[in-house]
């Protein structure tokens, strides 16, 4: 594991996760959309739009590596297994009390796990100036907030989430029965799949 990835995990371990959800946000300004309702935030993080959006961001990393450094790209499964060895137990210890105390769904835990894992994988290849979508989510988590969607404000002053369509055969999800096998092999499929442009919008933060 790269030193920067260890530092990231240490920062997340020391953070008071979700301690400021729904509270005023001084950072981000017009670059984010702030929501203050836990019900709205949970609906967003469990939505197909957010799932598709984050899956495409994961695919952008694998496509980048496939083109930029094929040797290190081929070590993806090895690197992922190394991270997951300690990552899963640590994150479960952090998330289980939070999800139980607040009666949160498995989809919430899956969303957070996906974000953290994506940030770790981006961190492992950061020296290549690779995509940093998930790494850019981490300061929000560390500051006690929860990034939960990508969207726009409608003319009725409501948040509409947006995300690209995804091929379910190429995009694994934790609810899949063969999720572990898919997550270890999806970069191979994703690297050959043309990446759509990122939808116009802003990050939604609770």
8-state DSSP, 199:
P
Is residue 178 over pLDDT 70?
Answer: no
Per the structure block, which two tokens stand in for 62? Answer: 């694998």
Please compute the mean of the pLDDT values over residues 108-132 and round it to a whole number: 94
DSSP-derived 3-state class of residue 145: coil
Is residue 191 over pLDDT 70?
Answer: no
Residue 194 pLDDT? 67
Residue 173 pLDDT? 58
Residue 192 pLDDT? 57
- Residues 37-92: pLDDT tens digits? 999 999 999 999 999 999 889 888 988 988 889 898 888 888 888 888 878 888 88
Residue 29 pLDDT? 83
**Separation of alpha carbons 97 and 103, rounded Å:** 10
- pLDDT bin (cut points 50, 70, 90) of residue 1 is confident
Cα separations in angstroms, 33 against 57, 201, 206: 19, 9, 9
Residue 146 pLDDT? 97
Sign of CA dihedral 127, 195, 118, 19: positive
**Separation of alpha carbons 108 and 94, rounded Å:** 13
Q: Which residue do the tokens 């933060």 mark? A: 205
Q: Spell out the domain ranges in the chain.
A: 3-205
């Amino acid at each position: 594991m790269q030193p920067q990835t260890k530092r990231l995990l240490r920062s997340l371990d020391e953070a008071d996760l979700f301690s400021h959800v729904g509270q005023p946000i001084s950072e981000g300004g017009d670059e984010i959309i702030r929501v203050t309702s836990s019900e709205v935030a949970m609906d967003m993080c469990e939505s197909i739009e957010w799932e598709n959006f984050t899956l495409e961001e994961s695919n952008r990393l694998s496509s980048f590596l496939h083109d930029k450094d094929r040797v290190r790209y081929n070590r993806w499964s090895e690197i992922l297994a190394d991270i997951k060895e300690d990552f899963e137990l640590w994150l479960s210890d952090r998330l289980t009390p939070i999800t139980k105390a607040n009666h949160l769904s498995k989809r919430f835990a899956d969303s957070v796990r996906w974000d953290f894992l994506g940030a770790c994988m981006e961190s492992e290849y950061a020296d290549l100036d690779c995509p940093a979508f998930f790494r850019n989510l981490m300061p929000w988590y560390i500051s006690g907030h929860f990034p939960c969607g990508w969207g726009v404000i409608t003319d009725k002053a409501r948040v509409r989430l947006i995300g690209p369509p995804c091929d379910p055969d190429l995009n694994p999800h934790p609810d899949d029965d063969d999720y572990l096998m898919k997550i270890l092999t999806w970069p191979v499929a994703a690297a050959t799949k043309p990446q759509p442009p990122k939808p116009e919008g802003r990050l939604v933060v609770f």
